[in-house]
Amino acid sequence: MSKLRLLEDWYRQVWIEADLDAVDRYFAPRTGADGLMPDGQVGPEDFKALVPALLALVRNLDIRIDRSMEMGDWLWAQISVHALTAESMRPVTAAGQVMMRIEGGRITEAYNAFDFLTFFQQAGLLPEDAFLLLLSGERMG
């Protein structure tokens, strides 16, 4: 299986189908993903809590791999997330990137960057123009 196919299957099975048992099939033991939470790595058990929490906020989730590049054991992908908010059914679109090392058909390292600010703003959980408000020194909450 190609690295890109593995990533596509990960997004489909874990994020779209919410198959939390699949997390353990994709992640090598003791593997964590950096860049998703401010306090450190997200491991398999963390994903099993994170996925349902985020999926509760959206409907009709679609994750697209817009660009990708493979080099040796590494895969880099730029993704876009498209969904509707669970509460108001308004569209949500946000971008992200992932770089991962894959060995033996399993993820052994993962580094993520995702635009959670835009995601939560469009989901109605942050004020409109939250980024501009924060740039001006405005505090949230």
Domain extent listing, the chain: 3-115
Task: Say what the pLDDT of residue 141 is.
Answer: 73
pLDDT tens for the chain, residues 1 to 141? 799 999 999 999 999 999 999 999 999 888 889 888 877 788 888 899 999 999 999 999 999 999 999 999 999 999 999 999 999 999 999 999 999 999 999 999 999 999 999 999 999 999 989 989 999 999 887
Strands (E), 1-141: 33-37, 40-42, 58-71, 74-85, 91-103, 106-114
Query: Would the pTM of this model clear 0.85, i.e. be above it?
Result: yes
Instruction: State the CB neighbour count (10 A cutoff) for residue 35.
Output: 17
Confidence (pLDDT) at 40: 75
Strand partners, 107: 27, 102
CATH number for 3-115: choose from 3.40.30.10, 3.30.465.10, 3.90.930.12, 3.10.450.50: 3.10.450.50
Separation CA 10–CA 110 (nearest Å): 13
CA–CA separation, 16 vs 53, rounded Å?
13
- Residue 39, pLDDT score: 76
- Residues in the chain, overall count: 141
